[in-house]
Chain A
Amino acid sequence: MSGLGSEVLAEWTHPVEWGKVREFARAVHDPRLGREPPVPPLTFPAVLTAQFVERFVSELLPLDRRRTVHGEQEYEYLRPLQIGQQVRCTARITRDDVKQGRRGGRMRLVTVEVELADAQSGEVIGFERMTAIEQEANGP
């Protein structure tokens, strides 16, 4: 699945913070809110990748936000995230191509995959894959 993009686009380390997990669980109304230690919601990895995604969309690619929508988001979970854990994030582009849209205009589809691993042991925790769709300028 992730064979396409071998070139590493960015690498960073981000902690799984107690307060951040609670804040996120509250924002998405996770039913496990209030447990101790807090349980990271299924989409919590978005917190670990938000700054990168911002830079990826607006600087690295860049995409025009006015013509871009979030098409898909995928999570693969191999090990649970732990409070206090330092997560090593490694981003690669796994898809970047142009397709003919159903209503005539062309669109660019870009998928970025972020591998999440324990920074100390190197064990892979899981993957987040985000697909953005940019409509071609001056479309119908």
Chain B
Amino acid sequence: MNIAALPDPPAFRFGPITRPDLVRYAGASGDFNPLHYDDAFARSAGLPGVIAHGMFSAGLLGSFLASWIEDRQVRRFKLRFRAPVWPGDTLHARGSVTRIRQSGSTTVAELALALCRDDRSEVVTATAEVECP
């Protein structure tokens, strides 16, 4: 099977995450949940302070995926949020090909992806299906 159809995943590192990163994501996405910018509200929810949007981390993992597969067509991208991300965290992404299959005349690569902290603990895991013509 032509796993060679896909290059090796690139190195991806982002951080440390800052409040301006979260404010920019809030504005860009329209997600103004106060957990992501209001410390008093976050503390009332039992958190030590604001947390990053799950979808900000999802967006970073999507950017890693896009840089890995270049312009190949993504069929599916499914993310699971494992742990909160805090301002100050530095994140790393990794990915691997788990399976190559035929779907009609198209070769589809199934990928496993993860976004991790410096200590390698996972904050977001994902699977993706990518067409490799």
Contact = CB atoms under 8 A, between A and B. Distances in A.
Q: Please report whether the interface of chain B is mostly helix, strand, loop or mixed according to DSSP.
A: helix
Contacts of A26: 24, 28
Interface stretch (B1-9, B67-75, B96-104): B67-75
A12 interface: no
A54 B32 contact: yes
Interface in A1-41: 20, 23-24, 26-32, 41
A31 B67 contact: yes
A72 B65 CA distance: 17
A42 B44 contact: no
Contact of B31 (A23, A29, A50, A69): A50
Given A26-B28, A31-B66, A54-B32, A43 B75 contact: no
A21 B28 CA distance: 8
Interface in A98-123: none
A51 to B, nearest CB: 6
Interface string A59-86: 0000001110111111111000000000
Interface string B47-84: 00000001110111011011100000111111111000
A23 B25 CA distance: 9
A41 B29 CA distance: 12
A20 B14 CA distance: 22
A137 interface: no
Nearest to B32: A54
Contacts of B78: 72-75
A54 B24 contact: no
Interface of A: 20, 23-24, 26-32, 41-43, 46-47, 50-51, 53-54, 65-67, 69-77
